[in-house]
Chain A
């Protein structure tokens, strides 16, 4: 039993990496994850990753922000201390629109980004769970968890090499060290 935990296929071209994914899928090798220096369009569909639901979160945060600030303004201007400004109504809705809009945007932005960070486990000082240093530079990395499948390691290596991988790594540890 080898001590290899992960096999990484390093590609220098995104299209060859996509070929690599196809080759692995055709041979029923499950893919753990793919690390790339830039977004690859169409990869989600290929890997069967569902659409992000952040849009729903954004909408709800926006509704929340608008409601919160409108309530604050209503409390100040209409309920708590209505002022007589030239005999005009205290509940002057058009005047409340700019700030309602601003906080709708503010809550949407902060809420969406916070949700993104929370869902993706991003926060200041988090140790990066990266598998290869060059995956943020010029390598497109397919990671295969070999403990979770029975395909012989040489077959996986060959599939990746044939698809155009410039390097195939057999790693004993999951993540690279940032110590």
Chain B
């Protein structure tokens, strides 16, 4: 049944009074149905300028070739693969929220999964654009696929992690897109049934004829569960395979067995930071404080501190194992990483990813929107540095000392990176305008069991153990959208 009461000691997932099913639809569809406000236009203008920069920089790269980047014979991968791994990593939080948290029956995922999945898709688009761009001659991308070609029967090398990556990223993108769009169908139908004219026709086309009959919902839920079940190992495999691009090489600093779990933890860490960056603003601008509550923010901060700590343990383990292995090349790679010419990048990484996020152990920091947003930016920067450090510090010291070199980015490198952020935000802002940022149907599921107003009724009924009631009221103090004075009399 939809309406069994949840234990009173659990925090509400929807706050606010007089929330009805109609109110949920109204609140979530407001940005889709109304004209955008000034904040959206400012954001969109800046983001589309970034996207234009990206278009220009990538076109420039294709016209003049990869020589327009700062790469050299020694450092053949730098900002391109850094950007690729960074974006793929960011995408991982969306799948974690939509798939893994679904399997764990974490109901709080219901109000953040939709925008996190959208973020995944846009991040993977940015990552894939890097892969194509770094080929320099993008039409050569076809040779990464096992297709007949004019070189006779020469196919791709299926032993190569780079080919695994082609399969992993394309599968990841396809499955994420399918999962996201299937989940959107009921919500598109909601927009359709409230719209008129051409708008209704467009959303009707996109809704695939959704009706919400019993059998449709039953199959929908089965499909969601199956997709969640297969996306869970998929998301772990994707970043594992990305890490194998490095780990299966013979490069000191890359050739380590710790890479797959270390990369996956880092990916989730950076992905949740990006979710915070986006949602803290979206929540405020779109007025969704009742659905994305302080509970959600704190829960995500807990995941950030967990995965951030895993990353820190991984950094320390790498360092220790380099010493313990007694392999001098490995030892040199790590000493050079932290004390060589790129010391500033490595210590930025260590500070941003390991030291600064430790403040999240404090409750007051986890519950502060300003602090959380600031930390999310720090982590985004730190995780970019992590990939830069892994790639460039290992490469810039060749096995031949005569080949030692440094990497200096050109303005094209910088423009492609800043531009990719512009592309990402352009896509995300367009998404907020045309599709609901929160899964409407899934949030409606929470209304009767997990909303503040229902819990208040339980509290008012007086059948609750007094200590549990006090515990609950105490938990409410952290919510910025709840006026705790209302609970004085209850």
Is A41 in contact with B222, judged by CB distance below 8 angstroms? no
Residue in B186, B201, B448 whose beta carbon sits within 8 Å of that of A14 in the complex: B448
Check if A44 is an interface residue, CB within 8 A of chain B. Answer: yes
Closest chain B residue to A88 by CB distance? B159
Chain B residues touching A, majority SS: helix
Instruction: Evaluate contact between B210 and A40: CB separation under 8 angstroms.
Output: no
Q: Which residues of B contact A (CB under 8 A)?
A: 1-3, 20-22, 25, 146, 153-159, 161, 163-164, 167-168, 171, 174-175, 178-179, 182, 185-186, 189-190, 192-194, 200-201, 204-223, 226-227, 230-231, 233-234, 237, 241, 244, 440-442, 444-445, 448
A101 B237 Cβ-Cβ under 8 A: yes
Across the interface, do A103 and B213 meet the contact criterion of CB distance under 8 Å?
A: no
Contact B21 A42 (CB under 8 A): no
Given contacts A73-B158, A99-B167, A105-B171, 4 further A-B contacts (CB under 8 A): A54-B223, A109-B227, A113-B223, A137-B25
Which stretch of A1-9, A30-38, A150-158 is in the interface? A30-38
Nearest-CB residue, chain A, relative to B159: A95
B159, chain A: closest CB distance, angstroms: 4
- Please indicate the chain A residues that have their CB under 8 angstroms from the CB of B20 in the complex: 12, 138
- Nearest chain-A residue to B444 (Cβ)? A38
- Known A-B contacts A102-B167, A124-B208; A12 and B200 likewise in contact (beta carbons under 8 Å): no
CA A41 to CA B486, docked complex, whole Å:
33
Contact across chains for B178 and A109 when beta carbons are under 8 A apart: yes
Which residues of A (11-62) have their CB < 8 Å from a CB of B?
12, 14-15, 18, 33-44, 47, 49, 52, 54-55, 58, 62
Contacts A76-B156, A130-B211 given; indicate if A116 touches B186 (C-beta within 8 A): no
Interface on chain A toward B: helix, strand, loop, or mixed SS?
A: helix
Question: Are B193 and A98 closer than 8 Å at their CB atoms?
Answer: no
A42 to B219, CA, bound (A): 14
Do the beta carbons of A52 and B1 come within 8 Å of each other?
A: no
Which residues on A sit within 8 Å (CB–CB) of B201?
178
Interface check A77, CB cutoff 8 A: yes
Tell me whether B155 and A81 are in contact (CB under 8 A).
Answer: yes
Asked if B21 and A117 make an inter-chain contact with CB atoms under 8 angstroms apart, the answer reads: no
Assuming the contacts A54-B226, A76-B155, A77-B159, asked whether A18 and B178 have C-beta atoms less than 8 A apart, the reply is no
Cα A90 to Cα B200 in complex, Å, equals 57
Asked whether A106 and B146 contact (CB < 8 A) given A36-B217, A38-B444, A49-B214, the answer is no
Report the contact-size class of chain A (Cβ under 8 Å from the partner): 35 or more
Q: How far is the CA of A37 from the CA of B214 in the complex (A)?
A: 10
How far does the Cβ of B222 sit from chain A's closest Cβ, in whole Å? Answer: 4
Distance between Cα atoms of A51 and B98 in the complex (Å): 23
CB distance B214 to A43 under 8 Å? yes
Instruction: Please pick, from B158, B189, B230, the residue contacting A76 in the complex, using a CB distance under 8 A.
Output: B158
A136 at the interface (CB under 8 A from B): yes
Cross-interface CB contact of A136 among B3, B182, B193, B215, cutoff 8 Å: B193
Within the complex, which residue of A49, A113, A133, A137 is in contact with B182, where a contact is CB–CB below 8 Å?
A113
Are A135 and B211 in contact, with the CB atoms below 8 A? Answer: yes
| Interchain CA distance A72-B167 in the complex, whole Å | 13
Closest CB in chain B relative to A144 CB, distance in Å: 14
Determine the chain B residues whose CB is within 8 A of the CB of A42 once the complex forms: 1-2
Rounded to whole Å, the gap between the CB of B397 and the closest CB of chain A is 26
Return chain B residues, CB-CB under 8 Å to A85. Answer: 159
Q: Flag if B213 contacts A33 (CB, 8 Å).
A: yes
| Contact (Cβ within 8 A) A136 B186 | yes
Contact B213 A34 (CB under 8 A): yes
Min CB–CB distance B451 → chain A (angstroms) = 14
Closest Cβ neighbor of B206 among chain A residues: A124
Knowing A44-B214, A81-B155, A138-B22 are in contact, say whether A109-B230 is a contact too (CB < 8 A).
yes
Given contacts A98-B241, A99-B167, A105-B233, contact A116 B2 (CB under 8 A): no
**Bound CA–CA A47/B237 (angstroms):** 40
When chains A and B are docked, how far (Å) is the Cα of A126 from the Cα of B209? 5
List of A residues within 8 angstroms of B1 by Cβ? 15, 18, 41-42
Is B205 in contact with A35, judged by CB distance below 8 angstroms? Answer: no
Nearest chain B residue, comparing its CB with the CB of A62 = B230
Shortest CB–CB separation between residue B41 and chain A, in angstroms?
Answer: 29
Beta-carbon contact of A117 and B226 below 8 Å: no
Q: Give the contacting residue for A92; candidates B153, B159, B175, B220; CB below 8 A.
A: B159
Given contacts A49-B218, A98-B241, contact A103 B211 (CB under 8 A): no
**Contact assessment for A102 and B168 in the assembled complex, using a CB-CB cutoff below 8 Å:** yes
Known: A35-B212, A122-B210, A138-B22. A76 touches B171 (CB 8 A): no
- The answer for the CA separation of A4 and B157 in the assembled complex, in Å, is 67
Chain A contacts for B207, CB-based, 8 A: 128
Interface pair B186/A37, CB less than 8 Å apart: yes
Query: Judging by beta carbons under 8 Å apart, are B193 and A134 in contact?
Result: yes
Interface residues of A in 112-136 (CB under 8 A from B): 112-113, 116-117, 119-131, 133-136
The answer on a CB contact under 8 Å between B193 and A137 is yes
Query: What are 22 contact pairs spanning A and B, CB under 8 A?
Result: A12-B20, A33-B214, A52-B218, A76-B156, A92-B159, A98-B164, A103-B167, A105-B230, A110-B178, A117-B208, A120-B219, A122-B209, A122-B216, A123-B209, A124-B208, A125-B209, A126-B208, A131-B211, A135-B212, A136-B189, A136-B190, A138-B20
Contact B167 A98 (CB under 8 A): yes
A62 and B171 CA atoms in complex are apart in Å by 13
Which of A18, A37, A117, A133 gathers the greatest number of chain B CB atoms within 10 Å? A37
* A116:B223 contact, CB within 8 angstroms: yes
Question: Does the CB pair B214–A47 fall under 8 Å?
Answer: yes
Q: Which residue of B lies closest to A74 (CB)?
A: B158
Q: Which of B3, B157, B171, B185 has the most CB of A within 10 A?
A: B171
